[in-house]
Structure 1
Amino acid sequence: MRKILLPAVLLGLACAGAAQAENVHVNPTNGFISRAVKVPAGSDTLYVSGITPQTVQGAPAATPFGDTKTQVQSILKQIGDILQGQGYGWEDVVMMRVLLVGDPAKGGAMDFAGMMEAYNEVYGPLKKKPARITSQVAGLVRPGMFAEIEVQAAKSAK
């Protein structure tokens, strides 16, 4: 009996420790992003494909998706719905990749400030922010799209 009981107790303790493991966000200055995020082994992971903006009803043909801020708001709303539908939240996002196209209204430069305004609507009040990369690309799937975002989220296994 003792030979069976000891391994069972040890297994129970190991599982209890794993269930309490949390992502570690390295953000010493409480900046806009984490410098790194450490995800414990055995975590459940969700990969969200690159999400593009939805069209804005009544928008001009040249900018059917709105400006960069509007597009990022649309994308983050969609991602938030996906996260919630899968049992995750914004604080579970460990990596975010933001692709921005140059905005003709900004001389072909990406609208980083517009992206950050929308990003901060979600992440401004949160302490746990993802690691992130923001890059300017030549183009996306459809003309007028200025943003595409993909994320990875992780949380303790159930």
Structure 2
Amino acid sequence: MKKNMKTKIAATIMGISVLAGATMVSAGNGINLLKISEVTFFGTPTSSISSSVAVPQNYNRLSFSGTVPPLLNNKGITTYEKYGDTKTQAIGILKKFEEDLAQKGLSLEDVTYLRVYVAPDPNKGNKPDYQGWFDAYAQFFNTEENPVKTARSTVGVESLVSPDYLIEIEAEVAYKNKNK
């Protein structure tokens, strides 16, 4: 009986070890992450986002706080008149990132991760308009001009700081110090 139990324990440990090894290889696509010298994106070619991003230690990082949409019309009465729908708001935020990055000598190609909060849209059944966000993202990432596919989280939230905001985005950026 004790020998049978030891065999089961050994088999379980071996199974876990094999599974952990397969997971590690799959997460890094067989790449030794300790040896990378450039930002490396992982994932399937058919996905519009990366499943993970490795940033080597010789890169600097820049984090954008939650960024909200720009005001389009200060005389507007409705959310759509003031800020637009989710897609319009997301495009406004991504353009803000693009402009801010350009002033810093960077571009959207340096973005590695986006964390996105989508609030309910009263004109869309009071549900988050995820498709509006996905359509906006598709104009800036995984394109011919910018082939980068960021890692990304999209989270539906009850509300944002203003009831007129339908989306808020945080960004992580990685860039090499050009002075070294």
C-alpha distance in 1 between matches for 2:159 and 2:64: 20
Larger Rg: 2
SS at match of 1:72: helix
* Mean CA deviation greater in 50-59 or 135-144: 50-59
Is 2:39 the counterpart of 1:23?
Answer: yes
Partner of 1:45: 61
Matched, 1:155 2:171: no
SS in 2 for 1:151: strand
| 2:161 is equivalent to residue 141 of structure 1 | yes
1:144 is paired with a residue whose SS is coil
Structure 1 residues 139 and 81: CA distance shift in structure 2, 3 A: same
C-alpha distance in structure 1 between counterparts of 2:163 and 2:44, whole Å = 39
Partner SS state of residue 91, structure 2? helix
Residues 1:34 and 2:54 aligned together: no
1:21-57 alpha-carbon deviations (Å, 9 max, x no partner): 2100002224211000000012111111111011122
Counterparts in 2 of 1:96 and 1:105: CA distance versus 1, 3 Å: same
Question: How far off its partner does 1:110 sit?
Answer: 0.7
| Aligned CA distance change for structure 1 residues 117 and 94 (closer, same or farther; 3 Å) | same
What's the offset of the Cα at 1:124? 3.6
Which deviates the most, 112-121 or 51-60? 51-60
What is the number of residues matched between the two proteins? Answer: 139
Whether the 8 Å contact between 1:30 and 1:127 is mirrored in structure 2 is: no
Aligned to 1:15: none
Normalised by the size of structure 2, how large is the TM-score?
0.72
Q: Does 2:158 align with 1:123?
A: no
Q: Tell me which moved more, 78-87 or 34-43.
A: 78-87
Q: Contact 1:21 / 1:156 at 8 angstroms: preserved in 2?
A: no
Residue identity (%): 35
Name the structure 1 match of 2:94. Answer: 76
Letter of the 2:115 partner, please give it: R
User: Any unmatched runs of 5+ in structure 2?
Assistant: 1-35
Take 2:175 and 2:37, find their aligned partners in 1: how far apart are those partners? 8
Partner of residue 57, structure 1: 73
Higher relative contact order (CA 8 A, sep 6+): 1
Structure 1 unmatched runs, 5+: 1-19
Query: For residue 42 of structure 1, what is the amino acid of its counterpart?
Result: N
Summarize deviations over 1:2-37 as a string: whole Å, max 9, x none: xxxxxxxxxxxxxxxxxx921000022242110000
Deviation beyond 6 Å, 4+ runs, structure 1: none
Deviations 1:63-113 (A, max 9, x none): 121100110011011011111111221121111001110101111111111
The answer (yes or no) to whether the contact 2:69–2:165 under 8 Å persists in 1 is: yes
144-153 or 85-94, larger mean C-alpha shift: 85-94
